[in-house]
Amino acid sequence: MVNMDDNKFGTRNKRGDWKPLELIPVNPPFIVPFKPIKLFKFIFGWNGYIFPWQFIWAFIAVIFWLYLTPPLEQMETFELGWLSFIFFRNALLVFLYAGFFHLHFYIRKSQGNSFKYNARPLENNSSKFLFNNQTKDNLTYVFLSGVPIWTAYEVVTYWAFANNLVPMVSWEFYPVYLSILFCFIPIIRDIHFYFVHRLIHWGPLYRIAHKVHHLNSNPGPWSGLSMHPIEHLIYFTGVLIHWIIPSHPLLAMYHLFHAGLAPHAGHAGYEKMVFKNGIWMQTGDYDHYLHHKYFECNYAGSTVNFLDKVFGTFHDGSDEATDQVMKRLKGKSYL
């Protein structure tokens, strides 16, 4: 088991739940007065905007586009061969990617409860989940709803590009424009996520669909993409921006891969993934863990949580913020 003292980074309550010492910062940090060094570290520093996770997801998308995606001309017509290839490719990617976190944290238990937000194990005897098991429930929604709907958006988008039904520009003539757009996709996706997330917290949609995701009050890696099919249909609509603005199929793929992969690490339940050599990576998203715990806060991704600040739904991890959220929750029935 990896040994790293999480007490240097956070505190643990009587139940064994861990929380980071530092309050959650508002991002992006281009605050007044402007602090360019702070912004530079946010963008290029380790565990910042690009490295490691955005870089990893972008790298996966580029490799898959170059070597594991059929030629665009082949996708002018819907044929079972390339459609099924895209589906099984996506399913295998999610299985290996999310499975890596599940294996490290919950099967091998490489860190025990070190850096774990909620000390309780994943639920395996609860009637609120399919098969009375949280992990089996999550896997069912991921592979029978999440991956098929993600794939449907992807293949229809490729088909639209192949048939010139949406505006497409080439890397040869517009390399700067496409490169800038590529770099901004995580921010575009997180802004979209904030607003659709607010939408699915609307009472009727919450009870019909989003409640499925929130059954994971103590989330694990497979919880990230565990959603009701209605929520999956809404969640992946971010890719539709590539149907409107001049874009490229690679950018649309990256957008969908970001949406399909990013939630797994963020829902892992651990702040850090620690390796035997002492190297660690930020995995957990304490912003979003607090959302699962208190419901009416932190709707945005951590990179654009200034939106929560602007709209009064920001929880910075302090006791005062918890008190404010609990006041908003009074008289409301979620679960």
In a domain, 1, yes or no: no
C-beta neighbour count of 136 within 10 angstroms: 13
In a domain, 334, yes or no: no
In a domain, 301, yes or no: yes
Strand 10-12 and strand 272-274: the pairing is: unpaired
In a domain, 282, yes or no: yes
In a domain, 335, yes or no: no
Q: Is the pTM of this model over 0.85?
A: yes
Q: Which pLDDT score, from 0 to 100, does residue 54 have?
A: 96
Q: Which pLDDT score, from 0 to 100, does residue 327 have?
A: 87
The total of structural domains in the chain comes to: 1
DSSP letter string over 142-177?
A: IIIIIHHHHHHHHHHHHHHHHTT-S-B--TTT-HHH
Range(s) of the domain holding residue 291:
6-329
In a domain, 270, yes or no: yes
Q: Which pLDDT score, from 0 to 100, does residue 30 have?
A: 67
In a domain, 246, yes or no: yes
pLDDT, tens digit (0-9, with 9 covering 90-100), for 23-49: 999 988 766 677 888 888 889 998 889
pLDDT, tens digit (0-9, with 9 covering 90-100), for 163-181: 999 999 999 999 999 999 9
What's the CA gap between 186 and 39, in Å, rounded? 16
pLDDT, tens digit (0-9, with 9 covering 90-100), for 79-125: 999 999 999 999 999 999 999 999 999 999 999 999 999 999 999 99
What's the CA gap between 34 and 115, in Å, rounded? 33
In a domain, 50, yes or no: yes
Which residues in the chain show pLDDT less than 70? 1-3, 30-32, 331-335
